[in-house]
Structure 1
């Protein structure tokens, strides 16, 4: 220290030194505080970035699981449309719904890396199973389309076959009816004569006879040739109709009933004839056993319920 320096001067110097020191200390403290605040801000920024990144990963996982749930529900609907059910698929949808609840329960920044990895791996496995199931469903649809096409083709063939069978049956029925019509026998040259009480046969070109002299009526005719009708025993029916239209009918003289055009009718006599397609002659001889009525009489001849021929004669 300079011995010549005054005390007042030395005091001023000390105060200046203290002031400068204080300023330097304050500047140092401010620098430290600034540094610390800067570090704290950087840490907060890093933390905010990490929280945002975690939240972003969380939202991505939520969207991914929502999409997976929607896809699995779509698969379930497609299987139902195919008439199928899948319990394992229902359980998988329930599992995804539970995972979604867990994901949505995480608080901001709490979705750890380990949890991210866990849900990511599970989502990857679910997507793999989803693709495989889509392939299976696509194959089922192709199989169903093939089966539908084959079934439709078979139905079309069946319908055609049914139509063909129906056509053949109708044709056969028509042919049968035509053959039936063609095979009907016809009575040719129907002749009527009477037998008197003295057993004399009388005929008249006018087909007129005296009623009181008639004991029996004789009807004769030929069976016309028919190459279609089978050679077999035929039942020939005679109907002798009186003037009022009633058929002479008596069980004791061979009368009875038969069917004509779906209706029951009386016949006067019948006989079995072995048809040989030779224009063979058939004769009926009928005795009423009582006096005949005067007036026009009708003779009808039938075979198998079909009219073969008819003629008339008059008793006066």
Structure 2
């Protein structure tokens, strides 16, 4: 009996030892598996952090490229640019802290997703701004071209108008024909006689006909006369100035006639204050800012 009980006790001990060994083996297996899971989790977290950092660098590069377009940003886009840069710096600081909890990692992932959306929206706004600027540039250039064309057209029209005005003005100016100049001597009796010697000549009479001109101004017209001596010098009479043929000239004698639009003959007498000299003389008549006619006479 004692022998069987002893055997029974020994058997129970063996079973107990076996159970303990099995439990220890199971515990070791469990701990080993947990360790492997922990290692894999650390690797996964590290990989995700690297991926997020890479994504941040990519977003920052896109942001830099958007800002290097040379486009003048609005105040709203400038504020968005500063906001995005601050967010990138904040996320990079969080990722650089080291180990992240699952919650921090999940939040970082969401923040990067939102940041990616805002950067895409930001670059899209920059592209739209560039397109608007390009359209405005084209519109401005087109407007410049139009203004230049209109200016040239107005300039040409002004030139044509000036030319037309000049033609009308020239056409309205009085013109003389049949100009004859007669040297005269006035006797003590007041009687006038034709002469040909310089020593006998006291004055000249200029006879001419004003041609018919329906567009000429009806009424009084100033007539200016310039007498050139044989040396080609102007004989100074009254010595006043007048404008003719776009230049200022000095006249020898000035008078006025009345013109009605129809052809009419006139006589102008001019007495020389000084003695005449032998030679060829030239007489120029002006009216309405233009040359009206010319003639000449010779004295011996």
Bin of the TM-score, shorter chain as denominator length: 0.7 to 0.9
Distance 1:304 1:183 in 2: 8
The farther-off stretch of 36-45 and 221-230 is: 36-45
Distance 2:54 2:24 in 1: 44
Q: What stretches of structure 1 of length at least 5 have no aligned partner?
A: 2-17
Provide TM-score, normalisation by structure 1. Answer: 0.76
Do structure 1's residue 281 and structure 2's residue 272 form an aligned pair?
no
Provide TM-score, normalisation by structure 2. Answer: 0.80
Residue of 148, 164, 176 corresponding to 1:175: 164
Q: How much does 1:101 deviate?
A: 2.4
Deviations 1:36-85 (A, max 9, x none): 5544432322221111111122122222322333333344445x514434
Do structure 1's residue 66 and structure 2's residue 57 form an aligned pair?
yes
Shift in alpha-carbon separation, 1:183–1:83, aligned structure 2, 3 A: farther
Deviations 1:141-177 (A, max 9, x none): 4443443443333333222211211221121122223
Contact 2:284 2:294 in 1 (8 A): yes
Q: CA RMSD in A?
A: 3.4
Contact 2:186 2:192 in 1 (8 A): no
Contact 1:189 1:221 in 2 (8 A): yes
Aligned length: 289
Q: Give the greater-gyration-radius structure (CA).
A: 1
Structure 1 partner of 2:209: 222
Q: How much does 1:26 deviate?
A: 9.8
Q: What stretches of structure 2 of length at least 5 have no aligned partner?
A: 2-9
Shift in alpha-carbon separation, 1:136–1:277, aligned structure 2, 3 A: same
Deviations 1:191-225 (A, max 9, x none): 1223323233444xxxx712233232111111122
Residue of 45, 67, 81 corresponding to 2:71: 81
The farther-off stretch of 25-34 and 235-244 is: 25-34
Deviations 1:267-291 (A, max 9, x none): 2211122332212223221222443
Q: How much does 1:314 deviate?
A: 1.4
